[in-house]
Each structure stands twice: as C-alpha cells, then as structure tokens.
Amino acid sequence: MLRNGGNALDAALATAIALVVVEPTGNGLGSDAFCILWDGHALHGLNASGRSPNGWTPERFAGRSAMPERGWESATVPGAVSAWVELSRRFGKLPFAKLFEPAIAYADRGFHVSPIIGRLWARGAALLKEHPGFAEAFMPGGRAPAAGELFVNKPLARSLQLIAETNGEAFYRGELAEKIAAFAATHSACMTQDDLAAHRNDWSGTLSQRFADAALHEIPPNGQGIAALMALGILQHTEIADCKPDSADSWHLQIEAMKLAFADVDAYVADLAAMTDVTPSKLLDPDFLAKRATLIDRKRAQVFGPGAPKHGGTVCLATGDAAGMMVSYIQSNYSGFGSGVVVPGTGISLQNRGFGFTLAEGHPNRVAPRKRPFHTIIPGFVMRDAAPAMAFGLMGGPMQAQGHVQMFLRTQIWKQNPQMAADAPRWRVINGLKVAVETNGNGAALAELEVRGHALVHESPEEAFGFGGAQLVQRIAGGYVAGSDPRKDGMAAGF
C-alpha cells in the first residue's frame, strides 16, 4: 500500500484486512477493533467495539454463574468492519476497495499456513469443531490445516468483495447482515438485523499518563488501557526509574503496581456510559494513585482489594510513513477463533466479547441490552513534548495492559530499542500472589521475587502464548525503528 502511494493508515488497514484471512485464530470479519492515530497534527482515538444484542437482558442469563464463553450467547455485534470504513474515509489516501485486494487474493487463491498459527489452529479446532459453522469453514477434510499447507477460503473472499464494493454497508445493512441474523435466528440467538444496523463507532480521543518526559496514551473504557495508565501513575511514586530493568526490585514494583490497578479495574471499569459513579478521571486522580502507591511493600508481595477513588485470540500492528502519520491498530476475536460460530457461506467468524460482561448485580459491567462489555484489546501510543514518539501494541488478553507498562518503561525510561524491548523476558500477573514469568528471565532476580512471596509460574517463551506479542514503531530523527515480537508470527519492515 505504501508503494502504491498510500499512507500509514492505508498500510495498517490493508494489513488488518489481510490478517482476517491469514490469521483466523486471532481475528476475523466478526472482530472488534480500536485505533490510535497521529495524523501529522493531532492524536485521534477510535473505539470500534460492538455492543450487546438488544435481547441481552440480565434475565436472559439468569441462573448462570458466569457469561457463556463460546457460542452465540458470547457474540456481540462486530465492529472491525466499521473501523475500516470510518478510518479509511477520514484519513486514508487510497480507494477503499484497493485495501482489500491482497486479502481477497489470499482468500480466493489460498495462503500457506504459518507454523505458530498452525499450532493455534489445531488447538482451536479441537475445542470448537462442534460449534455452528466452524468445521465447515476451518476444518476442510475434517481437520485443521497443518503448517505449510495451502488453505483456501472462497466464501470469505466473496464477503470481502461485498464489503469492499459497498463500503461496508453489506455487513451492517445488506446481504451479509441478513445472513448473520438469519443464522442467529436458526439457533434462537438474539442478534438481529436491527442490532447490526444500530452499530456505531465513537471517536473517543485518548486518556494519558505522564512519566518523566513521556506520556502513554490509551483508549478510554470500555477497554483495559486505563489499567496501564493507573500502574504508571502508581509507579511515579516509587524508585522504579532508578532500578535496573530486569532486577528483582524493578519487577516487584511493576507487579505490585499492576495488581493494584487491576483490583480497581475489575471493580469499576465498564462501558463508559455505565461508569457514572467511579469515572475514569477518579481512577486517574493523582492523589488517589499516590495513596495506592503507599500500599506497596518493597520486600513483600501482597494481594490487593479495590481502592475507594470516589472518595478522593488478537492481532496488532503499528505503522509510520514519510509524512509523519503513525498508527497503532488492534483487532480481535478475544479467545482463539472467538465464539466458534461461523456464518455458513460467508467465512464470517464471530468474536466472543460478550464473555467480558459480568452477571453480578449492581456491577457497572453487568450485562444489559445494547451495551459494550469490558474489553481487553488496547492500542498504545507514546507522545513526547507534544510530538509522536511511538505507536505500539501488545496482543494477549489480560497481558496487554501489563505489556504496555513493560514496553513503555523499557523504551522510554530505560532507553531500550523496540526490538530489544520486544525480545526481553516478561512477567504476567495471574491472580492472588501468582505471577507467570518466562524461564529466560534473570535467575537471581526470580529467586529474590520468590523470597518476597511471589508465587512464580515458570513458562518457556516458546510455549507461552500468554505473554503476548508486541509490535512497535518508534520515531527517530529522519525515520523510524521498529520491533516485532519473536513469540508470534510477525515482522518489522521498512520501504
């Protein structure tokens, strides 16, 4: 797209559309999406996550202990297609249909399955083969394709062509919307054509948190990006900047700050319209975060409850162009292959974002009609002195906010280059005192963390999908430097 005269946004969108075809375990036409974009003059944030069907009342899920993780009752209205349309209309240079050419070719003529995706595909197929439409779409001959095999998806090629020709209308108000709703009806599911037609995006702007001379920007809730901002705000009140990057002190402070942030996010974050009591501004209040920081014991791991602020399967990509436009974009099914539901004859696999709701009465994130669930996918962006410094993301469910903190500190505070930051060992808060760590971490530091009470779960980088995958584009004088995570199929490239 860049060689064809497109800009960074055209490149990002064409890649995102192609990933629907070649990385179906992490995203599809039924995904949601978010984007942070620097247009050369200002920063923009787009929330293109979908809302629940109108029939999703709390009573519909009565008697359950939790929201369904798979099947029709986990799928909310998809937003990714609307993100492509709106971003292209506002910021793109190339014709919308041009962005679909690579994806349509891959779907129509086939692509060779890459090694990591092949492994994830087999894992997903074993779990989802009985779900409506899944085997027909993703298990030709009764099995998942192996790495190196050619996979053709002609129904998906046709759906992509319809979306390209109608500027997305076919998906929300036309032929594809009719097929989605009809398939839902045959399974007594709630999603209707009216639900699809009612979908709308929000130009949400960003929330930010300064640390030293850099500022991390995230999309406001319903996403978890605010957790990264809160953790950074807590870390400002510690000696983290004086620590060595992979020391026990550094990891301990980051882990404890992240646990504090997650305790509040789990209690208070939801669809922005539902956060009427504890607002994002209250969660980011400097006095509140300073108070939370005082709870960190430098020598002992703890389990934290929420504070009282009112009293005081994903893909991600980053691009930059010669004109200075920079894009951080992410789209996702949520769990691998999402809900497992694939609309016959279309190649449309639906996400399972409804699993992000809670059924707890009185919780701001309780399921309700036409409401956005709590979301894990978050694009990241760093500004420095009112200028763009880095577009980045880190896919991986609850790892994402934790990964944003780690990438920000490594690149902005400890001055590691993007590839070094992506390659470095990671930690991941699980629950309670449990923390997953990569086995290639600093052995002495890991031993010290255990002395402090952290219950470490050791995972090898080769097998640890849970540590996510980072993609980073950092601006430097006269150009960019990029990094791509070795834990995923991905690459860094310049033209």
Q: What is the pLDDT of residues 364-386, one digit of tens each?
A: 999 999 999 999 889 999 999 88
The DSSP bridge partners found for residue 33 are: 48, 331
In Å, what is the CA distance from 132 to each residue of 138, 152, 318, 332, 475? 12, 20, 34, 20, 45
**Which residues fall within 8 angstroms of residue 472, CB to CB, at 6 or more apart?**
318, 390, 391, 392, 407, 411, 418, 421, 422, 482, 483, 484
* Nearest CA among 417, 416, 458 for reference residue 440: 458
For tokens 């070795």, name the residue: 486
The DSSP bridge partners found for residue 435 are: 429, 456
Q: What is the pLDDT of residues 129-183, one digit of tens each?
A: 999 999 999 999 999 999 999 999 999 999 999 999 999 999 999 999 999 999 9
H-state helical runs in 4-151:
8-22, 80-91, 101-109, 115-128, 134-138
Under the banding of pLDDT at 50, 70 and 90, the label for residue 456 is: very high
Judged against a pLDDT cut of 90, whether residue 465 lies above it is answered with no
User: CATH for 207-314+376-484, among 1.10.246.130, 3.30.470.20, 2.40.400.10, 3.40.50.800?
Assistant: 1.10.246.130
Choosing from 314, 319, 346, 411, the catalytic residue is 314
- CA–CA distance, 447 with 251 (Å, rounded to integer): 12
Q: pTM here?
A: 0.95
Note if 166 is an active site residue.
no
Q: What is the pLDDT of residues 73-89, one digit of tens each?
A: 999 999 999 999 999 99
- pLDDT for 398 equals 83
Rg (CA), the chain: 22
- pLDDT for 396 equals 81
Backbone angles phi, psi at 122, to 5 degrees: -65, -40
Tell me the percentage of the chain whose pLDDT exceeds 70. Answer: 98
Asked whether the beta carbons of 326 and 318 are under 8 A apart, the reply is yes
- pLDDT for 177 equals 98
Label residue 205 exposed, middle or buried (CB < 10 Å: 0-12, 13-18, 19+): middle
Q: Give the largest CA-CA distance in the chain.
A: 61
- The set of long-range contacts for 292-295, using a CB threshold of 8 Å and a minimum separation of 24, is 292/230, 292/234, 292/260, 292/264, 293/234, 293/235, 293/236, 293/237, 293/238, 293/257, 293/260, 294/237, 295/260
- CA–CA distance, 454 with 437 (Å, rounded to integer): 11
- CA–CA distance, 191 with 295 (Å, rounded to integer): 45
Q: What is the pLDDT of residues 326-363, one digit of tens each?
A: 999 999 988 889 999 999 999 999 999 999 999 999 99
Judged against a pLDDT cut of 70, whether residue 449 lies above it is answered with yes
- pLDDT for 192 equals 97
Q: Which two tokens stand for residue 54?
A: 């109108």
- CA–CA distance, 438 with 424 (Å, rounded to integer): 10
- CA–CA distance, 242 with 467 (Å, rounded to integer): 25
Q: In what helix (H) or strand (E) does residue 32 lie, and over which residues does it extend? A: strand 32-38
Mean model confidence pLDDT for the chain:
94
- Tell me the mean pLDDT in the region 308-336: 85
Q: What is the pLDDT of residues 20-35, one digit of tens each?
A: 999 999 999 999 999 9
- CA–CA distance, 321 with 324 (Å, rounded to integer): 5
Judged against a pLDDT cut of 80, whether residue 463 lies above it is answered with no
Judged against a pLDDT cut of 80, whether residue 457 lies above it is answered with yes
Judged against a pLDDT cut of 70, whether residue 68 lies above it is answered with yes
Helix (H, G, I), strand (E, B) or coil at 270: coil
Judged against a pLDDT cut of 80, whether residue 426 lies above it is answered with yes
For the chain, give every domain's residue range: 8-202+337-356, 207-314+376-484
- Tell me the mean pLDDT in the region 453-476: 85
Residue 458 CB coordination number (10 Å): 11
Helix (H, G, I), strand (E, B) or coil at 436: strand
- pLDDT for 311 equals 44
* Nearest CA among 213, 204, 225, 211 for reference residue 283: 225
**Which residues fall within 8 angstroms of residue 47, CB to CB, at 6 or more apart?**
34, 201, 202, 203, 204, 219, 220, 222, 223
Q: Which two tokens stand for residue 68?
A: 């369904």
- CA–CA distance, 212 with 392 (Å, rounded to integer): 19
The DSSP bridge partners found for residue 150 are: 112
Identify the residue with better confidence: 461 or 371: 371
- CA–CA distance, 197 with 170 (Å, rounded to integer): 10
Q: DSSP letter for 334, please.
A: S
Asked whether the beta carbons of 467 and 423 are under 8 A apart, the reply is no
Judged against a pLDDT cut of 80, whether residue 464 lies above it is answered with no
Helix (H, G, I), strand (E, B) or coil at 418: helix
Under the banding of pLDDT at 50, 70 and 90, the label for residue 309 is: low
